[in-house]
């Protein structure tokens, strides 16, 4: 498919999505165009004829060891799905969104900041699942299971963070004493 660009030109959808990944409004417009308008140009209904659905994948590896996947949204509910995407993106953006590994996330955020971010992300994720017709208790139980199975990994990372933080603090104290 060809998607319009701000300068009036066109490019394929993958390139257009890459270009506007930073601009949420533009990304939504390109996505909507790709899944609603393009099929319509060919006389096809993306929802009825193709059964097209989409879901939102949100990073949660630090907290549960994997990404979370939202319920699927039919194209007929594209506005609900895009609203869910915006809400999840906002909740997740409290924590650094760039590339991290199992250690670097704790170089950017304290464990308390990460806990607060998880509480918010978890709440929004549960709300979205309920909005999509899922049972809140079942989804909450599933999240608790994921959290529990990943707890030992989080605990090890926390212990490492505490050791490193303690060493940095000790070095600063020694340095201050030596400079006096």
Are 1 and 35 a contacting pair, CB within 8 Å? no
Are 120 and 93 a contacting pair, CB within 8 Å? no
Share of the chain above pLDDT 70, in %: 73
pLDDT in tens, 129-151: 999 999 999 999 999 999 999 88
d(CA 152, CA 10): 49
d(CA 23, CA 175): 45
Q: What is the pLDDT of residue 154?
A: 78
Q: What is the pLDDT of residue 133?
A: 94
**Mean pLDDT computed over 55-67:** 90
pLDDT in tens, 4-47: 334 444 445 455 445 445 567 788 888 999 998 889 999 999 88
d(CA 105, CA 113): 11
């Amino acid at each position: 498919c060809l998607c319009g660009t701000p300068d009036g030109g066109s490019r394929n959808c993958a390139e257009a999505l890459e270009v506007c990944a930073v601009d949420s409004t533009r990304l939504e417009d390109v996505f909507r165009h790709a899944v609603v308008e393009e099929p319509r140009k060919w006389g096809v209904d993306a929802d009825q004829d193709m059964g097209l659905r989409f879901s939102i994948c949100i990073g949660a590896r630090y907290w549960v060891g994997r990404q979370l996947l939202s319920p699927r949204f039919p194209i007929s509910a594209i506005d609900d799905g895009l609203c869910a995407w915006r809400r999840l993106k906002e909740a997740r953006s409290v924590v650094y969104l760039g590339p991290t590994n199992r250690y670097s996330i704790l170089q950017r955020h304290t464990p308390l900041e990460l806990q607060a971010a998880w509480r918010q992300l978890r709440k929004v994720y549960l709300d979205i699942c309920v909005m999509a017709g899922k049972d809140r208790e079942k989804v909450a139980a599933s999240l608790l299971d994921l959290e529990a199975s990943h707890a030992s990994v989080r605990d090890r990372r926390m212990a490492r963070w505490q050791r490193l933080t303690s060493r940095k603090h000790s070095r600063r104290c020694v340095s201050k004493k030596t400079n006096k």
